[in-house]
Chains A and B, each alone.
Chain A
Amino acid sequence: MQEKSYLVEREVWVENRLGIHARPASQILNLARQFEAEILLEKDGSVANARELLSVLALDCPQGTRLVVRAKGADARDAAHAMVQLFARKFGET
């Protein structure tokens, strides 16, 4: 039986001081791996797959960047929610 698939979009802001550098990018990746849903991060038309560390880094997101989280799949809602939380926690940084 085909599971129901959702498409969820959420806006997030990069609030930590150093932006999405290596550590936040690793956290994004590790979080994305916990979900079935495909999770994309979009910045001004450029898109990175949250599971791809280097693409996420190359998106170039310093502090103050606005991103759209786009999750697609059975657990898209949970995935998008978790991603929003991670950004809101500033990746545990300042």
Chain B
Amino acid sequence: MSATRVLTGIPASPGIVVGRARVVSDFGDLQATFRLLYTDRERQAEVRRFKEAVEQAQADLSRLRDRVAAEFPEHTHLLELHLLILTDQMLHDEPLRLIREENLNAEWALHRAYERVRELFSRIEDPYIRGRIQDVESVYRRLMGILIGQSPRRLIPTGDKVILVARDLSPAETTQMAGSGVVGFITERGGRTSHTAILAQSFEIPAVVGVDNAIKEIAPGEELILDGLSGRIILNPDQGVLERYRRRQAEFAAFREEVTTNAAEPATTPDGFATRVMANIELPEEVHLVGRYGADGVGLYRTEFLFLRLRHLPTEEELFEDYRKVVASLAPRLVTIRTLDIGGDKFLHRNDYVPEMNPALGLRAIRFCLRERDIFRRQLRAILRASAYGRVRVMFPLISSVQEVREAKALIEEVKGELRREGHPFDEEMPVGAMIEVPAAVTLCQMLAPEVDFFSIGTNDLIQYALAIDRGNKQVAAMYQPLHPAVLRMVLQVVTAAGVSGVPVAMCGEMAGDPLHLPILLGLGVAELSMNPLAIPVIKRVIRSITLAEAQAMASRVLEMVSVEEINDFANLFLKERFPEIYRFGSALAGI
């Protein structure tokens, strides 16, 4: 009996499952054999074998599609596509011809046909279209797996409680897991905000990603516990550990069930302090999570995705269509659009934009937009035009001076004039906000307040700049502390200054979605919080159970404390005593 071992990775989708590992190694293992056929009978048998394999793949895919369609109709298109590829001339007729005319066995015929498709696709210039080779490969692997008989259903193993272990999983493969025997997955690559992770959350399949050497470390068939809450993988657990996790699993399920009840209702404290709990979104797929987890709107719509995905600079129409879709599908809920928050080196292929030595302090966000006004105007026009289809507000990232806000607002006014002349409808009163994420903006917020309709504190950047900590640097990552006295004082300073001018203060960033921080933030006067959609039910539940008076008392006590350790202990103790369930599980849902 081998010993219990623990691997750790990044929790990508919450939940705990116990199962047996199914290690999906790379295609190298599925070697096609080569054999020549000599007689008509052999050829006929081989044709039949190939056709049967196609039929089986077709049956598997159709069954899968029906299962996925029942629960997640928006995710069936990849499976439909795979069904079409399966009977395509190049991957179906061509291998049959090779068997009949060139006397090749089915595996080698398929292999040759696939290599030709791959060769053909490698010459496609458009990266998006070229990328479809992934789907061809997926179908090829499925078919080859059936022919070789090695593992008839490679990526959707049946049987109970399979935990998939792979180097990487494409969104298509992740889709195939819905409704299959797969109860969880582990990958070596990927991050928490990757497409695959978001799909896993949407299917509610627990997942841990970014696990170094998972394929080497985990033996096929090995029993393991996958803890998508903490990112831990426990291999070969003993009875005691198993039981402990089974209990934790049941408790988490009950917890999740309970917190999501009434999630869509507004969150008001028992003494009547009304808050708004909003969602952070980035991908089009995430729009449905807003409703599912009961968000009161979108507090941060990141707009970089389209700029990064397209091979060209997006046109106004492309931007407008994306924004309009999100805004219209969420109306009448408020959608807060953050203007471009990256630098030119990320998407402009020009010599004057090369990767910077220190991008966090470089030409990005509002600085870049004010330099490249054509791009900025284009985005502002698209945002304004989308505002005619629902409720929109816009905010500028990385503001560090009053002048930047004025320049950006002047551009908005210019663009409004153009739109009026062109007869495009838009919301004349669209609120404009400044993100407070540079310490200079905190210091200046009294002067910034009269210039804007709202503030949104971006905690990820603010903490990084205030404490001079790069979270990606393992040497100092532990010093990244949201409850650091300096950070809390900055929040208080912003809320106070804004209160004088009557400007509402929102907060987006991971800090806003952590139940540990919530009472203190409420007590400091933050009335709007925006977070990973999964965290919303938990946060609403806490808000509904503590009074503003209690939160304020906590905040004033915390403001007297001089060390972050003291504050952390205090916040932890409170959460542990008042919300033991949330203390155990809540942070995992916050996606931290």
Name A's B-contacting residues (CB within 8 A). 17-23, 26, 29, 49, 51-55, 57-58, 60-62, 94
What's the Cα separation between A54 and B121 when bound, in Å? 9
When the two chains form their complex, are residues B88 and A53 in contact, meaning their CB atoms are under 8 A apart?
yes
When the two chains form their complex, are residues A57 and B129 in contact, meaning their CB atoms are under 8 A apart?
yes
Which residue of chain B has the shortest Cβ distance to A58 in the bound complex? B120
B117 is an interface residue with CB less than 8 A from chain A: yes
Which residue of chain B has the shortest Cβ distance to A94 in the bound complex? B321
Q: Which B residues lie within 8 Å of A19 (CB)?
A: 126, 128-129
- Contacts A54-B90, A55-B89 hold; do A20 and B318 have CB atoms under 8 A apart? no
B317 is an interface residue with CB less than 8 A from chain A: yes
Give the interface segment out of B66-74, B77-85, B385-393, B464-472: B77-85
When the two chains form their complex, are residues B124 and A60 in contact, meaning their CB atoms are under 8 A apart?
yes
Closest-CB distance, A45 to chain B (whole angstroms): 15
Which residue of chain A has the shortest Cβ distance to B90 in the bound complex? A54
B136 is an interface residue with CB less than 8 A from chain A: yes
Q: Which B residues lie within 8 Å of A61 (CB)?
A: 126, 129
Which residue of chain A has the shortest Cβ distance to B318 in the bound complex? A17
What's the Cα separation between A62 and B125 when bound, in Å? 9
CB under 8 Å from chain A, chain B span 78-128: 80-81, 84-85, 88-91, 117, 120-121, 123-126, 128
Closest-CB distance, B214 to chain A (whole angstroms): 30
Closest-CB distance, B4 to chain A (whole angstroms): 44
When the two chains form their complex, are residues A54 and B310 in contact, meaning their CB atoms are under 8 A apart?
no
- Contacts A26-B84, A94-B318 hold; do A21 and B91 have CB atoms under 8 A apart? no
What band does the interface of chain B fall in when counting residues whose beta carbon is under 8 Å from A?
20 to 34
B135 is an interface residue with CB less than 8 A from chain A: yes
Which residue of chain A has the shortest Cβ distance to B89 in the bound complex? A52
- Contacts A19-B126, A94-B317 hold; do A55 and B80 have CB atoms under 8 A apart? no
When the two chains form their complex, are residues A54 and B136 in contact, meaning their CB atoms are under 8 A apart?
yes
The proximity string for B residues 296-330 relative to A, scoring 1 for CB distances below 8 Å and 0 otherwise, is 00000000000000110001011001100000000
When the two chains form their complex, are residues B135 and A22 in contact, meaning their CB atoms are under 8 A apart?
yes
Name B's A-contacting residues (CB within 8 A). 77, 80-81, 84-85, 88-91, 117, 120-121, 123-126, 128-130, 132, 135-136, 310-311, 315, 317-318, 321-322
- Contacts A23-B77, A58-B120 hold; do A52 and B90 have CB atoms under 8 A apart? yes
Q: Which A residues lie within 8 Å of B129 (CB)?
A: 19-21, 57, 60-62
Q: Among the listed A20, A55, A62, A94, which residue makes an inter-chain contact with B90, where contact means beta carbons less than 8 Å apart? A: A55
Q: Among the listed B85, B132, B322, which residue makes an inter-chain contact with A21, where contact means beta carbons less than 8 Å apart? A: B132
What's the Cα separation between A55 and B80 when bound, in Å? 17
What's the Cα separation between A57 and B117 when bound, in Å? 11
A/B interface sample: 12 pairs, CB < 8 A: A17-B321, A18-B128, A19-B129, A20-B129, A22-B81, A22-B132, A26-B84, A49-B89, A53-B85, A54-B91, A54-B136, A57-B121
Q: Which A residues lie within 8 Å of B120 (CB)?
A: 54, 58
When the two chains form their complex, are residues A52 and B88 in contact, meaning their CB atoms are under 8 A apart?
yes
Closest-CB distance, B263 to chain A (whole angstroms): 32
What's the Cα separation between A60 and B135 when bound, in Å? 16
In addition to A22-B81, A22-B135, 12 A-B residue pairs with Cβ atoms within 8 Å of each other are: A17-B321, A52-B88, A52-B90, A54-B89, A54-B120, A54-B136, A57-B124, A57-B132, A58-B124, A61-B126, A62-B126, A62-B128
Q: Which B residues lie within 8 Å of A60 (CB)?
A: 123-126, 129-130
Q: Among the listed B84, B121, B132, B310, which residue makes an inter-chain contact with A17, where contact means beta carbons less than 8 Å apart? A: B310
The 6 A-B residue pairs whose C-beta atoms are closest, nearest first, are A94-B321, A62-B126, A52-B89, A60-B124, A54-B90, A58-B120
What's the Cα separation between A20 and B128 when bound, in Å? 9
When the two chains form their complex, are residues B84 and A53 in contact, meaning their CB atoms are under 8 A apart?
yes
What's the Cα separation between A60 and B318 when bound, in Å? 20
Q: Which B residues lie within 8 Å of A53 (CB)?
A: 84-85, 88
Closest-CB distance, A72 to chain B (whole angstroms): 18
What's the Cα separation between A32 and B135 when bound, in Å? 22
When the two chains form their complex, are residues A58 and B121 in contact, meaning their CB atoms are under 8 A apart?
yes
What's the Cα separation between A18 and B130 when bound, in Å? 12
What's the Cα separation between A49 and B94 when bound, in Å? 14
Closest-CB distance, B157 to chain A (whole angstroms): 26
What's the Cα separation between A23 and B129 when bound, in Å? 10
Q: Which A residues lie within 8 Å of B128 (CB)?
A: 18-19, 21, 62
Q: Which A residues lie within 8 Å of B91 (CB)?
A: 54
Which residue of chain B has the shortest Cβ distance to A49 in the bound complex? B89
What's the Cα separation between A60 and B130 when bound, in Å? 8
Which residue of chain A has the shortest Cβ distance to B121 in the bound complex? A58
Q: Which of A51, A53, A61 has the most CB of B within 10 A?
A: A53
